[in-house]
Amino acid sequence: MFEVKAERDVHVALSSRQDQDLDEIYEIVIGGWDNMRSVIRRSRQGYNHVDVQTPNIVSKTEYRTFWIMWSSDGTIAVGRGDENLPFMLWRDPDPLPINYAGLKSDWRNVDRKVGQWKLCRTARPDDAECLVEPAMRHECGWAGITSDQCRSKGCCYNTATTRPEIPWCFHRAKKGGLYSEQRSGYRAAGKHVKAH
């Protein structure tokens, strides 16, 4: 999870190595094209696998909060603030390993006014406690599986109200609600979160 204050073009790169010249990355752009669109790419300046209209999603006058998650099955999700569902979601059929995250903003700004960032060190609230015994934990499937597939793994199925076309599958928790449950077992920008 992170907060950013920028006029446009917030970029997050997810990669296997700490190498600025690496082309095999996931590039996430939030508020590109003069703060009108957001995309997910599989390479630097590559094909837009997800391309959504997001007018004024970032701001040069106030911090806006975003979260990014990924799983070993190649699913990448990008969401806003405390919203439970992503505004961008894509599954790479040939996933890249992700060990590093890189950040930049306003890359075409001729005035050299760059964005300001606040990074969160933890990906889930500390008060959430998983109800599944440690020996029985595994990836639930997260988004895009059927309710029967989800429940057969002992996981919790939820059709969220904001985007009902994207179901969620996650371990149950005593506290923290959907916000913590859907993120557990996945990675957030800059921090590896082990399966609870």
Residue 126 resides in a domain: no
Cβ atoms within 10 Å of 196's Cβ, excluding its own: 19
Say whether both 115 and 168 belong to one domain: no
Task: Quick: pLDDT tens for 131-141.
Answer: 555 555 555 65
Give the residue-averaged pLDDT of 78-94.
Answer: 90
Residue 101 resides in a domain: yes
Say whether both 14 and 108 belong to one domain: yes
Q: Which two tokens stand for residue 39?
A: 């995309």
Report how many domains make up the chain. 2
Say whether both 91 and 180 belong to one domain: no
Q: Find out whether 37 and 53 touch, Cβ atoms under 8 Å.
A: yes
3-class secondary-structure state, position 31:
strand
Say whether both 11 and 102 belong to one domain: yes
Burial string for 29-44 (b: 16+ CB within 10 Å, else e) reads: bbbbeebebbbbbbeb
Say whether both 105 and 138 belong to one domain: no
Cβ atoms within 10 Å of 128's Cβ, excluding its own: 18
* H or E element that contains 187: strand 187-188
Would you place residue 84 in the very low, low, confident or very high pLDDT band (cuts 50, 70, 90)?
confident
For 14, phi then psi, to 5°, come to -115, 125
Say whether both 16 and 49 belong to one domain: yes
Rg for the chain, CA atoms, rounded = 17
pLDDT at 189 over 70: no
Share of the chain above pLDDT 90, in %: 34
The Cα 137–Cα 152 span in angstroms is 13
Closest to 86 (Cα-Cα) out of 153, 160, 186: 160
Q: Find out whether 93 and 71 touch, Cβ atoms under 8 Å.
A: no
Q: What is the pLDDT of residue 2?
A: 86
Give the residue-averaged pLDDT of 41-51.
Answer: 94
The Cα 131–Cα 173 span in angstroms is 5
Task: Quick: pLDDT tens for 134-173.
Answer: 555 555 655 556 777 777 766 766 655 445 555 566 655 5
Residue 125 resides in a domain: no
Residue 128 resides in a domain: no
Would you place residue 90 in the very low, low, confident or very high pLDDT band (cuts 50, 70, 90)?
very high
Q: What is the pLDDT of residue 143?
A: 55
The Cα 172–Cα 81 span in angstroms is 22
Say whether both 58 and 98 belong to one domain: yes
* pTM of the complete model: 0.63
Tell me which of 76, 91, 119 is where a domain ends. 119
Its domain, for residue 52, covers 2-119
